[in-house]
Structure formats: structure tokens, C-alpha cells
């Protein structure tokens, strides 16, 4: 049967199991929204206040559900407003399809009203993108975009559709067969045997778990491996939850703001097994002094990551499930009491829990939320403190901008996580500077009655930048203080949000007791010291064992 291009898009999304769309209407996508008008019994459409935040919402929807996020934006400024969100998803390998409207074919290339070359602009931040100028190719393009976004190493895909293609009609036949299947790569047995031999001979191994473990859903296999061979494990930010933080082999965060014992474990190990991790600069510090005594095994699906930031690793490129299953069979069971005891001796004493510090605030908050709470953050000091102190148990519990470091990510992400997981608790941990970038989305939270809980660590500054200015720029605080006369209570309550102010642990505990399990939106503003800092910190360009504990 012949149907419009707009209906073809919606039918293809149905084929792929899509039932939730994050979007914002505009001139070029009016035909698509006209078709959507008849499909609102099937599709749950979420309209945010700004296109950037709807992409962040689709991003966290994808991370927390394992589904592909779908976004609709109009041409011109609507499309360009999606760029930061697309780049955020690209850096963290999040499956997403962004459908943008474009001016009609006859106006492309003529500097028409709201015309931009969005495919050209996003070429370097998408896994693939398309300008679909012919109705004949539309169904195949949408199907392929959905398949490409979710296959292999996932990522965002953009499809730009001229307005006349939305309106044109063409034959449509439903199919559920994939049009694109990324061929799985299987590692040669000799490579697996070499890796297993290295593991069996190792005395001080460490496993470095990244986001690829979460994306490939191989958490359980990885844990089975480390328990059989007794390998202590560190996480990148993207890898949090792949091993429960309270597991006896979990060492926590590694890198610039990593726990002391985690960084020292990597520095002193004789074998580092990287699983689905990309050795970012924030993890490795000075490359030639990272894990200096260790042989490195690098397990990844993306060959371009091999030896990008390291040298002479043993590469195991391909399907992670296949690799881990084979290693599990090949390695010998082992116990490493001396190595674990050495690492235990590297841990620091706990500070006073009565002080109103970020550590104590987050650990106390953690006590009031269930193990399957989804935590989203913005970017800055509060993000690092969350990584250091929150006891993540599962790998889909944490949504944060790791690779791009996008301030303003958190509230949109909380919206998407709550939409995708209506029966779970969603907690946003934010800072006052990041919250300024996205608080307009409180309107969205209110509109859809989303019971998101929010904790703001308010130090009246751009905290991380200010810390760096103090430590590395002679305390020349240039444009980082934010002492503005805003009444937080009036501001939050104007959105219909329950508000609490906490300046002591007693006030925080009162707010948590009263609000933690309410099915309504709650905001707790925690006023912390202006000079609270994230420690440990590894100065830029230094090896990760050279941690500063104060400064």
C-alpha cells in the first residue's frame, strides 16, 4: 500500500520495537508530527523545553533500558541544538537515532530559511548519517539507521529528511528482518591461549573494566572470571556497576580522581586486563608511566582503540562474550592473598562522618535509596564525588557524560531514565553551576509528573574550575564564583517541586527520611563549603601514582 513518508518512518520505528520518542516540533517536521497525531495511542512522545536536553533524555533512556533512543528535531536551529547531545552520546557509545527535518529538496543549497548542512556538521560525531532525498530509499534508511545504531560498538546515527519526502507517498510493506547486521569477529584460539597464559603466570593482576562491559551486557561473565582467578578490579566512569562496588574485589575508580589503592594497584600490577575500556587521558595520566611494570591485555570490539593510548598490548578484538567465555575455560583457578593484602594496606582511614562534606552527604543519601536506583549526574566536582562514593551495584544504574563532560546533561538524563524506567527511583546529583544550564527542564518534569529526586551540592561556584584555578593558576578566581541572589525555595516551589535546604547532616537526614520514597519530585539543596575539593587528584600530565591528597 502507498503511504506518506511520515507514516513510513513511524511504521519502520514500530518494526524496530520503538514506542518512545523524544522530540520538538517545528516547520520542517510538521508532516511527521501530523502523522504522529494519529499514533499517540502507540507512541509515548516526550517534548522537552530544549532540543539539547531531549537528546540527553534519549541518551539516558538508552543507557538505562538497553533500547535505542529516538529523537525528532526540526531543521536549522532545531537540528543544531541537538549537536552537543549527539556528541555526548558518541563519546560514550550510546545507541540513538536522531531524525531531523530539512528544507524541501528544491531549496537545499540555496541558503533557505532554517537550512543547515546537519549531516556535514555531525559527520565526526555520528557512527553514520544520512541525507535521504528520495522517498524510495526512506524505509531502508530508517531500518538501517536503527540497526547500525545498536550494532557492534553502538553510537548515534542521524537521518536528515527533506520536508517534501515526509509528504511524498510510496509503497510500504512491513518487515522485521534486519537490513544491516554487523559481522561478529571471533578471536583466534592462539591469541586467547597467549592471554590465558599471561593470566595464569601473573602474580599481581588487575582488571580494568570500562563501558564496553555494560554495553555488551557481560557483567556476570566478567565477575565470574575475576572470582575464579581472584583479580582485583578497577572501573572507569563508564564501567561503574559492572562489578558491585561492595564486592571484595572491587577497588573503585581509577585515574585522575581515582581511589589511592586503585591507582596504586594499576601502577604496581604485573598484568592489566582492560575490558571494554579506551584508556582515556583521564585514566592513564602520563602514558609512558601508566602500569609501567605490566603486560596489557586489551579486550575490545573496536580495533581502532588498540594501542591508541598504550603500546604493545596483547589485543583480543571481537565479541566480548566469546572472549570471556573462552578465557573462563582456559585460565586456572587461583588465590592471591598476598596481593589482596598489599592492596588493602593502601587504603586510607575514613574521615569524620558528622561533618557536612560531599563524601558524608552522598554516603548518607545512598543509605536511603534502593540498589536499583538510577543515578544521573551533571559534570563537575559532584560527578567525581558520586563516582568515588556511591555504591553502584548494577551497570545500568549510572548515567553520566564521561567522554565529553557535558555540563547540563543531568536533568535531561534524569527525565529519560525515569520515562524509560517508570517503576524505578531516579536520583539526579547535580551542582549549582550545572543546574543553571538545564533547570528550564523542571517544566518538563512537572508537565509529565516525573517523581525524580534531586540532590544539589551547592558551593556557589564553578567548583571544579575554581579548584583548578586555586591549585594550578595561583588562586586567580576568574569568573568562577556564583553568589547570586536567588531564593531556591521560591524558585523550586514555583515549579510545584518539594524543596528542602540542608546545611548539616541532621537537616539532610530529616529531608531524606521525609522524602526519599515519596512518588513525587523532590529537590534537596545542600550548601557546602566554597573550597571543598575533589581529592585525590593527579595533576595533568603526571603518572597516576602521583596523587595529591590536598592542596
E-assigned strand segments in 284-367? 295-300, 314-317
From 113, 189, 344, 510, the catalytic residue: 113
Question: Which residue in this structure is represented by grid cell 556528541?
Answer: 87
From 16, 67, 127, 163, the catalytic residue: 163
Residue 383 designated active-site: no
Do residues 156 and 126 touch, judged by C-beta distance below 8 A?
A: yes
Do residues 22 and 69 touch, judged by C-beta distance below 8 A?
A: yes
Do residues 249 and 233 touch, judged by C-beta distance below 8 A?
A: yes
CA atoms within 13 A on the CB side of 332: 10
Residue 182 designated active-site: no
Residue 114 designated active-site: yes
Nearest of 446, 400, 429, 411 to residue 526 by alpha carbon:
429
From 320, 384, 437, 464, the catalytic residue: 464
**What's the CA angle centered on 143, arms 101 and 125, to 5 degrees?**
60
Nearest of 8, 35, 14 to residue 172 by alpha carbon:
8
Residue 163 designated active-site: yes
Contacts of 192 (CB under 8 A, 6+ apart): 316, 323, 326, 327, 330
For 10-76, the three-class secondary structure string (H helix, E strand, C coil) is HHHHHHCCCCEEEECCCHHHHHHHHHHHCCCCCCEEECCCCHHHHHHHHHHHHHHHCCCEEEEECCC
Cell of 107: 531549496
Q: Is 169 helix (H, G, I), strand (E, B) or coil?
A: strand
Helix axes 381-389, 463-472, angle to 10 degrees: 100
From 52, 102, 114, 469, the catalytic residue: 114
CB atoms within 10 A of CB 123: 12
Q: Which residues are 2's β-sheet partners?
A: 171
Do residues 201 and 207 touch, judged by C-beta distance below 8 A?
A: no
Nearest of 97, 106, 101 to residue 116 by alpha carbon:
101
Residue 464 designated active-site: yes
Contacts of 537 (CB under 8 A, 6+ apart): 256, 257, 467, 471, 547, 548, 551
Pair type for strands 2-4 and 169-171: antiparallel
Catalogue the active-site residues.
Answer: 51, 113-114, 163, 464
Amino acid at each position: 500500500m502507498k503511504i506518506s513518508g511520515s507514516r513510513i518512518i513511524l511504521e519502520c520505528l514500530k518494526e524496530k520495537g520503538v514506542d518512545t520518542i523524544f522530540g520538538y516540533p517545528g516547520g520542517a517536521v510538521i508532516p511527521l508530527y501530523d502523522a504522529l497525531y494519529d499514533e499517540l495511542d502507540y507512541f509515548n512522545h516526550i517534548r522537552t523545553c530544549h532540543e539539547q536536553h531531549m537528546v540527553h533524555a534519549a541518551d539516558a533512556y538508552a543507557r538505562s533500558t538497553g533500547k535505542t533512543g529516538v529523537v525528532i528535531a526540526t531543521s536549522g536551529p532545531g537540528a543544531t541544538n541537538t549537536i552537543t547531545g549527539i556528541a555526548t552520546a558518541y563519546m560514550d557509545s550510546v545507541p540513538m537515532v536522531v531524525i531531523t527535518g530539512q528544507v524541501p529538496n528544491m531549496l537545499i543549497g540555496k541558503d533557505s530559511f532554517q537550512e543547515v548542512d546537519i549531516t556535514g556538521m555531525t559527520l565526526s560525531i555520528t557512527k553514520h548519517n544520512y541525507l535521504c532525498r528520495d522517498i524510495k530509499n526512506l524505509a531502508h534508511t530508517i531500518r538501517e539507521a536503527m540497526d547500525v545504531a545498536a550494532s557492534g560498538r553502538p553510537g548515534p546515527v542521524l537521518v536528515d529528511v527533506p520536508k517534501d519526502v515526509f509528504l511524498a507517498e510510496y509503497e510500504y510493506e512491513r518487515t522485521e528482518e534486519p537490513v544491516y547486521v554487523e559481522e561478529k569477529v571471533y578471536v583466534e584460539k592462539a591469541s586467547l591461549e597467549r592471554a590465558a597464559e599471561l593470566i595464569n603466570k601473573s602474580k599481581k593482576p588487575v582488571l580494568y573494566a570500562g563501558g564496553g562491559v555494560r554495553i555488551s551486557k557481560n557483567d556476570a561473565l566478567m565477575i565470574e572470571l575475576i572470582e575464579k582467578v581472584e583479580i582485583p578490579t578497577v572501573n572507569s566512569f563508564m564501567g561503574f556497576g559492572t562489578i558491585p562496588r561492595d564486592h571484595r574485589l572491587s577497588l573503585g575508580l581509577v585515574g585522575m580522581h581515582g581511589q589511592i589503592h586503585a591507582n596504586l594497584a594499576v601502577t604496581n600490577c604485573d598484568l592489566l586486563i582492560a575490558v571494554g575500556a579506551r584508556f582515556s587521558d583521564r585514566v592513564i595520566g602520563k602514558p609512558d608511566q601508566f602500569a609501567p611494570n605490566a603486560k596489557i591485555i586489551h579486550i575490545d570490539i573496536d580495533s581502532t582503540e588498540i594501542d591508541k593510548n598504550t603500546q604493545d598490548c596483547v589485543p583480543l578484538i571481537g565479541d566480548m562474550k566469546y572472549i570471556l567465555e573462552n578465557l573462563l575455560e582456559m585460565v586456572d583457578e587461583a588465590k592471591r592473598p598476598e596481593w589482596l593484602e598489599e592492596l588493602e594496606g593502601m587504603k586510607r582511614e575514613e574521615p569524620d562522618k558528622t561533618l557536612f562534606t560531599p563524601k558524608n552527604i552522598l554516603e548518607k543519601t545512598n543509605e536511603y535509596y534502593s540498589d536499583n536506583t538510577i543515578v544521573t549526574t551533571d559534570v563537575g566536582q559532584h560527578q567525581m564525588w558520586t563516582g568515588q562514593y556511591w555504591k553502584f551495584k548494577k551497570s545500568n544504574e549510572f548515567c553520566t557524560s564521561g567522554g565529553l563532560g557535558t555540563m547540563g546533561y543531568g536533568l535531561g538524563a534524569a527525565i529519560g531514565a525515569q520515562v524509560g524506567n517508570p517503576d524505578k527511583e531516579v536520583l539526579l546529583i547535580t551542582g549549582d553551576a550545572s543546574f543553571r544550564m538545564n533547570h528550564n527542564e523542571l517544566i518538563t518534569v512537572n508537565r509529565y509528573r516525573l517523581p525524580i529526586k534531586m540532590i544539589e551540592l551547592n558551593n556557589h561556584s564553578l567548583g571544579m574550575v575554581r579548584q583548578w584555578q586555586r591549585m594550578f593558576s595561583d588562586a586567580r578566581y576568574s569568573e568562577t564564583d556564583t553568589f547570586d541572589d536567588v531564593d531556591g525555595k521560591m524558585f523550586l516551589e514555583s515549579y510545584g517541586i518539594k524543596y528542602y535546604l540542608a546545611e548539616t547532616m541532621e537537616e539532610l537526614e530529616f529531608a531524606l527520611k521525609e522524602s526519599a520514597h515519596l512518588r513525587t519530585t523532590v529537590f534537596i539543596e545542600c550548601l557546602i563549603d566554597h573550597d571543598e575539593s575533589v581529592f585525590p587528584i593527579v595533576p595533568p600530565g603526571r603518572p597516576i601514582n602521583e596523587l595529591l591528597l590536598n592542596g
